[in-house]
Structure 1
Amino acid sequence: MAPVMHRIGGEGDAVVLIHGFGADRLGWVANSPALLDTYTVWAAELPAHGTAEPGATTPIDIASALTELLPQNDKPIALIGHSLGGAIAAHLAALRPDQIGKTVLIAPAGFGSGAVAGDFLTGLPGLQSEDEALQHLRQLVVRERLIMPQMAQYVLKHLEKPGRREALAEIAQAALNFELPALPNEALVIWGEEDAINPPDMEWLKSLGERAMLLPQTGHLPHVEAATKVNRRITDYLAS
């Protein structure tokens, strides 16, 4: 089965949001409202995530499947991808250079320091209790209060869907060892300085100059933890 593409709303040029491992389209609730006044916002759901059935498991194969779901637009489509979704966005930009314009990569998988917390990825599909899920998910952020019990319950509910745990386990393994896509031209890269899941490569980010945004006291979810700053930077970048 293919990924799923949801039209969130808005009018204007298309922006496609691509979530990370274990998330879904609702992971963008702090960001999509900032885009809706200017853009038509779409949100992908990766295989075995959200409403999408299990299917492709590697970043390149998921990106290939997404090429069939891109909105039809006369102007280039902007991509915003987080973590695994960042790697998929980079692959997608390489696969469809004629369709894809600007890209925003938030803590993109494969582009960090290399010290990826593999236990976070491989452990998520096996979560059983609310307490276990809360402890696991709180690794994503610096301010643990951002991860509420309802989020843990939501993750556990989706893990109970048929074939979901097995499919996520395959995606997790693929995410630990995959062909790294090229960094899209003029991509904006956003990272949390205290990302414990996919730690940033400080020297590489420094080399990007104004194309990089490094946020202090922020973990793996900068678009949630520092939503106001991130939204402002993204909208300025897309408008430039």
Structure 2
Amino acid sequence: MAALKIGGAIITAVVLILTMSYWAAGRARPVLNAETRASLVKQGLAHSFIDLPGGTVHYRLEGPADGPLIVLIHGFSLPSFVWDDYFDPLTRAGFRVLAFDNYGRGFSDRPKGPYDADLTDNLLTELLDRLSVKKPVHLVGYSMGGAIATIFAARHPMQVASLTLIAPAGLGVGANRNMTLIKRPLIGDWIIRIFGLKIFHAAAAQEAKAAPNPAHFLTDFDRQMDYRGYGEALLSTMRHYPVTGSEQAYAEAGADPRPIMVIWGEADKTVPFTNAQTLMSLMPNAKLHSYPKVGHPIAYSEAPIVESLIEQFVESQIEAKPGANPPSLTVKTRAVEPAR
């Protein structure tokens, strides 16, 4: 009996320690609020903020007011700074450019969630409405942002003039054993709360190696983790967002006659390039540009190439006569055949 009592006391103590460490870790970082955001803007680290029904969203909008609007949508863990190198060339070309931080990322609010397709779709719908965007936009989505763009195009076909998908998720992602454990209730929450920021920093440090300025990239990435709720948002996304199984949305978006361009690195292990065959079968009118020896970071490791493709692609839609096919792009890239 004494041994049982001792064992019970030890278990109780362990549970108490784990609970207290979980609670303390959750309160170790400040929340994003109006004062914090004003300071970020003053330091030149943030751009503009807007209050939406789902929360406050950080966004950047530049370029001529009457220019065709290109909307840039980031992926799973990297916020909108991933598009920084795109603003100058695209706005100089006459485009209006919008990028924003999805909920839970960057300097946007971290609502409870769930972080599913409805949450991201509502954010984009409400943001365009509040910014009084009336004309169809040119959507560009990278990684999970590709799935966000595709689902938006499927649900709101009249609001999308063209789609550019860069290594898009939604049709499957690379195998990761750690994700299986992290997705489990309780244990996953504890791991993310206690070790999540170190895990995400380590992953970003690997991704940063492909950036033009790795140190600057990693500093920008880490800054969003200074505020409470980032890890929990990513965990909820892992559990609820359809990074696999979105074939129906791709088929619905692909059935529309709007122009679609796909850009992919053939060495991508995060969102495998083999998914391109499935995508091309679901979007038979898409134009695929692929690059050997380029991995998942293509949006920032090869930003000049990708930006140039986007610029040419969107210009081709504007210059095309109504009812005519857009002119071909004069770029030397490789393509894969649609799956049979």
Identify unmatched segments of 5+ residues in structure 2: 1-53, 183-190, 317-340
Query: 1 or 2 for the larger relative contact order (CA 8 Å, sep ≥6)?
Result: 1
Correspondence 1:1-240 to 2 at 5 A: 1-2=54-55, 4=57, 6-11=59-64, 12-37=67-92, 38-55=94-111, 56=113, 57-70=115-128, 71-112=131-172, 114-117=173-176, 119=178, 126-129=195-198, 135-137=202-204, 139-140=206-207, 144=210, 146=212, 148-175=214-241, 179-180=245-246, 181-183=249-251, 184-185=253-254, 186-201=259-274, 202-204=276-278, 211-240=287-316
Deviations 1:99-154 (A, max 9, x none): 11101111111235x5354748969884445xx6664225547x646462343344
Change (3 A) 1:128 1:5: closer
User: Are the aligned partners of 2:211 and 2:217 in contact in 1 as well (CA < 8 Å)?
Assistant: no
Moved more, 195-204 or 97-106: 195-204
Change (3 A) 1:237 1:124: farther
User: Are the aligned partners of 1:140 and 1:219 in contact in 2 as well (CA < 8 Å)?
Assistant: no
**C-alpha separation between the residues in 1 aligned to 2:266 and 2:56?**
31
Moved more, 1-10 or 59-68: 1-10
Higher helix share: 2
User: Are the aligned partners of 1:117 and 1:197 in contact in 2 as well (CA < 8 Å)?
Assistant: no
2:27 is aligned to none
What value does the CA root-mean-square deviation take over the aligned residues?
3.0
User: Are the aligned partners of 2:58 and 2:108 in contact in 1 as well (CA < 8 Å)?
Assistant: no
**C-alpha separation between the residues in 2 aligned to 1:35 and 1:46?**
22
Shift of 1:87: 0.5
Change (3 A) 1:25 1:124: farther
SS at match of 2:250: coil
Change (3 A) 1:177 1:211: closer
Which letter does structure 2 place at the counterpart of 1:194?
A
Task: Output the TM-score relative to the length of structure 2.
Answer: 0.61
Which letter does structure 1 place at the counterpart of 2:218?
A
Change (3 A) 1:209 1:124: farther
SS at match of 2:126: coil
Deviations 1:158-189 (A, max 9, x none): 22311221122111222466551225343211
**C-alpha separation between the residues in 1 aligned to 2:292 and 2:285?**
16
Shift of 1:239: 1.1
**C-alpha separation between the residues in 2 aligned to 1:3 and 1:86?**
23
Which letter does structure 1 place at the counterpart of 2:118?
I
Shift of 1:31: 1.8
SS at match of 2:267: coil
Deviations 1:4-38 (A, max 9, x none): 26243101011111101111121101222221122
**C-alpha separation between the residues in 1 aligned to 2:285 and 2:159?**
26
Task: Output the TM-score relative to the length of structure 1.
Answer: 0.83
Query: Between the two proteins, what is the percent identity of the paired residues?
Result: 26
**C-alpha separation between the residues in 1 aligned to 2:169 and 2:271?**
7
Change (3 A) 1:223 1:177: closer
SS at match of 2:158: coil
Which letter does structure 1 place at the counterpart of 2:289?
M
SS at match of 1:171: helix
SS at match of 2:157: coil
Which letter does structure 2 place at the counterpart of 1:96?
H
